[in-house]
Chain A
Amino acid sequence: NAGVTQTPKFRILKIGQSMTLQCTQDMNHNYMYWYRQDPGMGLKLIYYSVGAGITDKGEVPNGYNVSRSTTEDFPLRLELAAPSQTSVYFCASSPGGHNEKLFFGSGTQLSVL
C-alpha cells in the first residue's frame, strides 16, 4: 500500500498565484486532515473531513479551501497565495471514530515569494 500520497513535494509560488495541493490515500480511511507546520512550531489544523462530501474548518482555515468528492482524495486549494502561507503542508488520514492514529504523507514544502 502506498498510504497517503502528497504532490507536489516542493513548490514556489508568487504572491497572488493559486495552486492545489493534492492528497490521496488508498487505505479507505474516512477521516482526512490538512495540517501546516512552520519552523519550530507544531502542526496547525487547517481543514478536516469525516467523509466524502463533508468538510469542516480547523484552527487556521483562512486563505484555504478544500473539497472531498471521493473517499480517497482531499485536495487543498490556495486561491491568492501570500507570504504567510509559506510552510510545510501535511495531509493525514485515519480510519475514523476516536482512539485512532493518524497516517501522514511526506509533506509539501511551499514557498510564497
Chain B
Amino acid sequence: SQKIEQNSEALNIQEGKTATLTCNYTNYSPAYLQWYRQDPGRGPVFLLLIRENEKEKRKERLKVTFDTTLKQSLFHITASQPADSATYLCARPNSGGYQKVTFGTGTKLQVIP
C-alpha cells in the first residue's frame, strides 16, 4: 500500500524563522502531492499542490519541494508568524485511482512569539 509519513512530533519555532516540515512517501512516486492546513476543530484547508515533474512551487510565504529520488516533499513557511500555528497534512493519490487520496498523520507547528 502507498503510505505517507510525517513527523508526528510537534515542531516549535521562533517567530520570524523558517519552518520546514517533511513528508515521506513509500512505493511509487505519486503524480502529485498536496499540502493542507488544519486548525483545531476545523476541516483541512488546501494550501498547495506540487506535481511529480515540478521541483518546487511557491505561494506567498509558502514553498513546497518534491524530490522523487528521496521520495520526499518539504514544506517551508518563511518568516513564520504565530497565526501559522496549526497542523499541516500531506496527501497523495493512490495508485489504484486518483479518486483515493491518502493523508499523513500531520505535523503540528507552533510558532512562538
Contact = CB atoms under 8 A, between A and B. Distances in A.
Interface of B: 4, 6, 8, 31-32, 34, 36, 41-46, 49, 51, 89, 91, 93, 98-106
A44 to B, nearest CB: 8
Contacts of A103: 46
A97 B98 contact: yes
B104 A90 contact: no
25 contacts: A33-B101, A35-B103, A40-B8, A40-B105, A41-B105, A42-B4, A42-B106, A43-B44, A45-B100, A50-B99, A58-B100, A59-B102, A90-B43, A90-B44, A98-B32, A98-B98, A99-B32, A101-B49, A102-B101, A103-B46, A104-B43, A105-B43, A106-B42, A106-B43, A107-B43
How big is the A interface, by class? 20 to 34
Nearest to A99: B32
A31 interface: yes
Nearest to B101: A102
A21 interface: no
A43 to B, nearest CB: 4
Interface string A81-113: 000000000101000011101111111000000
Top 6 A-B pairs, shortest CB-CB distance: A104-B43, A98-B98, A101-B46, A42-B105, A43-B103, A42-B103
Contact of B99 (A41, A43, A48, A105): A48
B30 to A, nearest CB: 10
